[in-house]
Amino acid sequence: MKVFHFLLALLLFVSCSRSLDIPGEDPVQQMTIDIGLLASDEMEGREVGTEGENMAAAYLVERFKDIGLKPMGTNGFYQEFRRKVKSNPHAAVAETGDPEIVGKNVVAYLDNKAENTVVIGAHFDHLGYGKEGSLYTGVPAIHNGADDNASGVSMMVYLASVLKKSKLKHNNFLFIGFSGEEKGLWGSNYFVNNPTIPVSKMNYMINMDMVGRLNADRQLALSGTGTSPSFKTVLEEENKYKLKLKLSESGIGPSDHTSFYLQDIPVLAFFTGQHEDYHKPSDDIQLLNFSGMRDISAYVYKIIARLDRAVKLSFTKTKDESTDAPKFTVSLGVIPDYLYDGKGMRIDGVREGKPAFKADLQKGDIVLKMNDMEVTDMMSYMKALAAFKQGDSAKLLIKRGDQEIIKEVKFE
């Protein structure tokens, strides 16, 4: 898209927006610039190991330098890592002679001479031209990843600038732009195994991955809330931004906080939810909710401020909800709306060519029943789905608008 014109329009708009009750400038203008650049076609979707990703990493280094942070990688701000990729898809592991991808995390430090360090992270890599991991079926196209995850990166940089100016001194702060997240948490996994500060000194970790699409209901998903007993009250009491919090206790989830949780570090992961542009070239800047990002940033800052004590938070292991989840052999081919909290499973997107698509299910449909199995929420939906196998058909009771209709899907 024409990023420049959009930036111009937005700059005019933000000049009349309200100010924050935290130190520093209103973040919207700078976030617009950061995301405008990271999610521009010049960065070609920031796939790990590509020139586009190098550009994004270099940009992040510049931003951290501007703010006055210290390098804390292994080569200045950079921490390089290598991953062999299987050239034979049937091989169990990569073999000698297989190609190698070089990724780099960007690591910056705010040294307050404190005992412990709070880690704040966001991945900056994305899907490039969508060869792998894309949900888009057209010709190869740049996946700009404005929400996933230029949004989280811009928020991390903003928090860095605010924390640098703040009076919070009981912790140091480590900011990490992770690479290779989309391939399976490569960068965060490498970092926790090769940390540039001792893991034992990490107080807790905040992860921001897809935080740019706060919806009209202001739903914000927060995971890891059970990883420290200190979290829950603070999260509720500091919510002065009318955010509708959807808390989940587990420290395991599909993003970089998982790597830290597995090292027994309390984690909090922020997420504004799935959408139909997820992992598609249409995840662009004009669809982001900038005032939402401002409110979420302020909220994260308030949480950090409340937790700013000299003593480390205690860690608690959570029940890993995903290991309790039923196993599936079939899929409907929809993107569920994980933030929907009414009765049933609300569909947020339908994948082309899949069973739901063929049965004419649509975004916004709410699945209430699969055959005679009642669907009341995500968990009962997953249980119902787990009951089917390839070749089965199912009659779905769907709520579409005010109507209830039946659609028959065939799992293949």
Residues forming contacts to Zn ion in the complex (CB under 5 A) are: 148-149, 209
Query: Nearest approach, Cβ of 334 to Zn ion (angstroms)?
Result: 20
Query: Nearest approach, Cβ of 34 to Zn ion (angstroms)?
Result: 16
Query: Nearest approach, Cβ of 383 to Zn ion (angstroms)?
Result: 27
**Nearer Cβ to Zn ion (149/250):** 149
**Nearer Cβ to Zn ion (53/209):** 209
**Nearer Cβ to Zn ion (192/394):** 192
CB hemisphere CA count around 373 (13 angstroms): 16
Side chain identity at residue 136, one-letter code: Y
**Nearer Cβ to Zn ion (44/148):** 148
CB 400 within 8 A of CB 365: yes
Which of 358, 344, 350 is CA-nearest to residue 409? 358
Query: Nearest approach, Cβ of 177 to Zn ion (angstroms)?
Result: 12
* DSSP code per residue over 96-146: TTS-EEEEEEEEEEE--S-SEEEEEEEE----TTTSSS----SS------I
CB 27 within 8 A of CB 293: yes
Query: Nearest approach, Cβ of 13 to Zn ion (angstroms)?
Result: 27
Query: Nearest approach, Cβ of 211 to Zn ion (angstroms)?
Result: 10
CB hemisphere CA count around 169 (13 angstroms): 4
Element (H, E) at 232: helix 231-237
**Nearer Cβ to Zn ion (134/149):** 149
Q: What is the largest CA-CA distance in the chain?
A: 63
**Nearer Cβ to Zn ion (45/355):** 45
Question: What is the distance between the alpha carbons of residues 293 and 39, in angstroms, rounded to a whole number?
Answer: 16
**Nearer Cβ to Zn ion (120/361):** 120
Query: Nearest approach, Cβ of 47 to Zn ion (angstroms)?
Result: 13
CB 188 within 8 A of CB 121: yes
Burial of 66 (0-12, 13-18, 19+ CB in 10 A): exposed
